[in-house]
Amino acid sequence: GKYEYDLLVIGGGSGGLACAKEAAQFGRKVAVLDYVEPSQRGTKWGLGGTCVNVGCIPKKLMHQAALLGSALKDAQHYGWNIAQPVHHNWSVMAQAVQNYVKSLNWGHRVQLQDKKVKYFNMKGSFSDPHTIRGLTKAGKETIVTAENIVIATGGRPKYPTHIAGALEYGVTSDDLFWLKESPGKTPLLYYPFILHLHEIIVCISLTDASPDVSLECAGFLTGIGLDTTVMMRSIPLRGFDQQMASLVTDYMESYGTKFLKRCFPTKVEKLESNRLQVTWKNTDLGTEETESFDTVMWAVGRAPETKTLNLETVGVKTNSETGKIIVDASEATSVPHIYAVGDITEGRPELTPTAIAAGKLLARRLFGQSSELMDYDNVPTTVFTPLEYGCVGLSEDAAVQCYGSDNIEVYHAYYKPLEFTVAERDATQCYIKMVCLREREQRIVGLHFIGPNAGEVIQGFALGIKCGATYPQLMKTIGIHPTCAEEITKLHITKRSGLDATVTGC
């Protein structure tokens, strides 16, 4: 044909690879360009995108490491005799995680090969609507042409460049998962849980977005024994249900993470000892404070990777405020034959599963005679903080706004996971909330769960909600005993009643 490839995908992450592999199934000639610009600290990684390398995967593994630390404590209550002291070795964990990630990079390379998708380790930019100029690290140029192009370059963490020292001395999630040595010096003792003399880390999140990154990281860093502080200017987990967000942070506080609320940093300086001194303003007290830390990690939002794509040349429109690419319901940009999926697209959730689904459906529409569009409604998600939070549908605040508080019923319960009893763990923040319409057969519009394995709990219910589940249907579902999830099928106290929502009895 006229072009070398039927489909060229720029960006080898969750969305890009899913789209490319799906297109290849239809016997199309497909190519993927993937390139990782090193971070400020020089960190880089292989094929697979954010999720695999510096997102979901390493995050969940390190979260697991922290959970295992709790398990070690619990185990003693269950009869396991573990001699003190117990240490955590960052390097062992980091090496194991990094090895696994590398195996995934390798797995993706092999899959592309198996599916006969051509892979270029090059940074791509547009020359014209059907032509991409690829540049290798060494500066070698290759021109590639394609009938259809999908932009899936994702995003990278932002740096608050207006803060002195932020760029020079801070790291981001891009770097955290690849550190060979602990971001804080090894604590002297993990048991008993004492305040360490050294290593303190700050995860700073400012007003907008990437709120969960900062809390998730702070969570597992605390869990492996590092002295961690989260500084935030305003509210945690913006965009999420605020009642749930504060329960999550309450738990983290009781778990040992320090919070500097309503504070924002003004500068970061390096001390002679090589530690970092952070100066900040406390907006509540109107004071200025300083403290020194070993590491400062910025989690102030992610910026879409569009700058070097040369989008202006071909006329692909972006949102002036966010910089993200504007797409319609079929993932098409303002230029025919150019599409976009994943974190780069405006108005879409920044999640791997949605990127994958969108990428696959796009390929099926382009090459498989399908007309199915992506459904972005009721996408479930989970925040992997020390006490996990899973949700699907509307937050209570959004439901009130959408339907009016008279037209919704909120069922809720405070419960205690059975496993916490013998372990003598505090379950104060273990909480479930379900938002239903009062009419329309009491359809469920939102479900929120805080507790262990929140992701596992929510997934099936998300399915139910997709099927239009109603409160009566849920009440007809028998619970599995003993689990945490069964509490959802037993919700019966409403917020409106004002009654005590603590679950009692077996």
CB of 89 to other proteins, least distance (A): 5
468 binds other proteins (CB under 8 A): yes
Tell whether 49 is in a known binding site: no
Block residue for tokens 């069964």:
486
Is 221 within 8 Å of 196 (Cβ atoms)? no
> Segment 70-109, which members bind other proteins (CB under 8 A)?
71-72, 74-75, 77-83, 85-94, 96-97, 100
In degrees and rounded to multiples of 5, residue 79 shows phi and psi of 105, -5
Separation between Cα atoms, residue 309 and residue 340, nearest integer Å: 12
Helices (H), 141-203: 166-169, 173-176
The yes or no reply on residue 189 touching other proteins (CB under 8 A) is: no
Closest approach of Cβ 10 to other proteins, in Å?
22
Is 347 assigned a ligand-binding role in the annotation? no
CA quadruple 125, 130, 131, 137: dihedral positive or negative? positive
- Binding flag, residue 110, other proteins (CB under 8 A): no
Residues 388-427 that bind other proteins (CB under 8 A): 390, 418-419, 421-422
Q: How far is the CB of 261 from other proteins (least distance, A)?
A: 29
Verify binding: residue 246, other proteins, rule CB under 8 A.
no
- 298 forms part of the interface with other proteins (CB under 8 A): no
Using CB under 8 A as the binding rule, the residues of this chain from 197 to 236 that contact other proteins are: 224
Residue 367 binds other proteins (CB under 8 A)? no
Strands 295-298, 200-205: parallel, antiparallel or unpaired by DSSP?
Answer: parallel
Q: How far is the CB of 193 from other proteins (least distance, A)?
A: 15
Q: Which is nearer to other proteins, 8 or 18 (CB)?
A: 18
- Does 484 sit near other proteins (CB under 8 A)? yes
Tell which residue, 34, 30, 27, 28, has the closest CA to residue 11: 34
88 Cβ contact list (under 8 Å, min separation 6): 65, 69, 187, 190, 224, 225
Which of residues 57 and 278 has its CB atom nearest to other proteins in the complex? 57
Decide if residue 297 touches other proteins (CB under 8 A): no
C-alpha distances in Å from residue 65, one per residue of 110, 213, 380, 386, 424: 29, 17, 24, 11, 21
From candidates 307, 440, 479, 497, binder to other proteins by CB under 8 A = 479
**Residue 73 CB, nearest approach to other proteins (Å):** 10
Given the DSSP bridges, would you call strands 123-128 and 200-205 parallel, antiparallel or unpaired? unpaired
The three-state DSSP-derived secondary structure of 441-454 is HHEEEEEEEECCCH
The torsion angles phi and psi of 191, rounded to 5 degrees, stand at -105, 140
By CB under 8 A, name the one of 453, 494, 495, 503 that touches other proteins: 453
Choice between 56 and 151, CB closer to other proteins: 56
- 138 near other proteins, rule: CB under 8 A: no
- Annotated binding residue at 343? yes
- Count of residues in contact with other proteins, rule CB under 8 A: 84
**Which two structure tokens, joined as six digits, stand for 160?**
């608050």
Report if residue 460 touches other proteins, rule: CB under 8 A: yes
Closest of 68, 21, 194 to residue 452, by C-alpha: 68
Residue 50 or 257: which CB sits closer to other proteins?
A: 50
Q: Which of 213, 488, 491, 493 binds other proteins (CB under 8 A)?
A: 488
When asked if residue 237 is in the footprint of other proteins (CB under 8 A), the reply is: no
Residue with Cβ nearer other proteins (138 or 467): 467
- Please say whether the beta carbons of 283 and 263 come within 8 A: yes
Nearer residue to other proteins within complex by CB, 275 or 433: 433
Q: What is the smallest separation between the CB atom of 24 and other proteins, expressed in angstroms?
A: 20
- Residue 466 engages other proteins in binding (rule: CB under 8 A): yes
Tell me the β-bridge partners of 164.
267
Q: Of 328 and 375, which has the nearer Cβ to other proteins? A: 375
Is 214 within 8 Å of 296 (Cβ atoms)? Answer: no
CA distance 172 to 178: 11
Q: Which is nearer to other proteins, 89 or 319 (CB)?
A: 89
Please select the residue that binds other proteins; options are 24, 268, 461, 501, rule is CB under 8 A.
Answer: 461
Tell the burial category of 81 from Cβ atoms under 10 Å away from its Cβ (0-12, 13-18, 19+): exposed
Residues of span 28-57 touching other proteins by CB under 8 A: 51, 56-57
Task: Given the residues 108, 162, 481, 492, select the one marked as catalytic.
Answer: 481
DSSP secondary structure code for residue 235 in this structure? -
Give the footprint of other proteins on residues 346-365 (CB under 8 A).
351-354, 357
Helical (H) or strand (E) element with 6: strand 5-10
Closest CA to 344 of 379, 314, 308: 308
Read off the tokens for 179: 């550190």
* Residue 481: active-site member: yes
Q: Are 232 and 260 in contact (CB under 8 A)?
A: yes
34 labelled binding-site residue = no
Q: Which of the stretches 20-28, 66-74, 211-219, 433-441 binds other proteins when contact is defined by CB under 8 A?
A: 66-74
Spatial separation of the C-alpha atoms in residues 351 and 343, rounded to whole Å: 7
Active site residues: 481
Binding-site annotation, residues for NAD(+): 301
Binding-site annotation, residues for FAD: 60, 124, 343
